[in-house]
Amino acid sequence: MGSGLSRVEEVPDYAMEVQMKAEVPVEDVIATAQAAGRAILQIYNSEASTWEVQMKSDASPLTRADREANAVICQALQNVSPHIPIISEENKMLPHSMRQKFQYYWLVDPLDGTKEFLKRNGQFTVNIALMSSNTPVLGVVDVPCQGKTYWAVKGKGAWLRTSDGQQRIQAAEFGFEDKGLKVVASASHLNKETEEFIQLFNSPEFVQVGSSLKLLMIAEGQAHIYPRLAPTCEWDTAAADIIVREAGGAVLQAGKQDNKGNPLQDWKEELVKEVPVVYNKEDVLNPYFVVFGKRRGATAAR
């Protein structure tokens, strides 16, 4: 007989890849954005002294409306899809080493346009995007002060919902040589690069608007071009990005920038490469980009 002792073998470090399939009800995501919009409006219509305004480390404002909308969205998305992680402007940022492994994730800006909220001009939105790797595949943007909700699913078109019903939207077709093109730009970030860009066109009509409303104007055919040659982050654009794409437009990179908006590349050289904006980068700062409607003779970037 043996000694009664058994030989202990080293256990291999096995790993198993598991793929999950689950449905995300689009109507639930739309309802979530609208619920966040109602929470924002309740605060927006109250006394400004109750807004609890703070300044974040990047000197951007944060209000009670941002926080409450974020709580509404995160709770609802966890209920709809507990297996999908959430990246929100108002949540602690996860390290890229973790984020880069996400197959799907939510990308959220609970109140895009906080500066416009503080000005009480109504130009703010709720942005929710479902991302697949580095690309949005579902986007919902609620515009609380207008009673409008825009949404899109990859391959299914772009849509506008109001109290009167729902309709499909399309970007306006144009050529670069056309006279009087409508160019929309930020109400808060009009710099020399943007002015230089606008001067390239023949008697353009210029409009300044806040938040992701600028991308929505392109998607709905109310404007032709939106140059963003100033800082934005991924959560500012992802939801409206797919709405533009599904409406027949494009959101194209125009060169890297630093966090103060200074160009690190020649925007003209980068723009002609026709590279769509991508997401889930190590640095969540977007590059410069330009949003186009339906360019005559061009194929919308997908």
Q: What's the pLDDT band for 302 if we cut at 50, 70, 90? A: very low
| pTM score of the predicted model | 0.91
Residue whose pair of structure tokens reads 């392109």 in the numeric block = 218
Q: What is the pLDDT of residue 205?
A: 95
Query: In the prediction, which pLDDT does 46 show?
Result: 96
* Residue 58 annotated in ligand binding: no
Strand partners, 136: 131
SS3 177: coil
13 is in an annotated binding site: no
Tell whether residue 241 is among the known ligand binding residues.
Answer: no
pLDDT for 127-179, tens place per residue? 999 999 999 999 999 999 999 999 999 999 999 999 999 999 999 999 999 99
Report how far residue 216's alpha carbon sits from residue 226's, in angstroms, rounded to the nearest whole number.
10
Considering only the C-alpha atoms of the chain, give the largest distance between any 2 of them, rounded to a whole number of Å: 99
Q: Is 258 annotated as belonging to a binding site? A: no
Is position 130 annotated in a ligand binding site? Answer: no
DSSP string, 32-93: HHHHHHHHHHHHHTS-GGGS--EE-TTS-EE-HHHHHHHHHHHHHHHHH-TTS-EEETTSPP
Question: 1 pLDDT exceeds 70?
Answer: no
| Nearest alpha carbon to residue 229 among 250, 203, 202, 258 | 258
